[in-house]
Amino acid sequence: MGRYLLKRLAQLAPVLLLVSVIVQATLTLPSVILSEASLSFLGIGTPPPAPS
């Protein structure tokens, strides 16, 4: 039983890591967008011809 559990966990570990990275990126991206929009609104963002 213990061997099976360790073997199964070893197979699932990369998937669980990938899922956690995707979730973290999904939750972080809106705050980055909001921060950039706030800086642009205040006039201290990127200059107008440069894309962000």
Copy the structure tokens of residue 27.
């939750």
Could you report the per-residue pLDDT of 10-48, keeping only the tens digit for each?
888 888 889 999 999 999 999 999 999 999 999 898 888
Predicted local distance difference test score (pLDDT) of residue 16 = 84
What are the extents of the domains in the chain?
1-33
Integer Cα distance of 8 and 3 in angstroms: 9
| Positive or negative: CA dihedral 34, 40, 42, 45 | positive
Q: Give the other-Cβ count within 10 Å of 39's Cβ.
A: 13
Predicted local distance difference test score (pLDDT) of residue 42 = 93
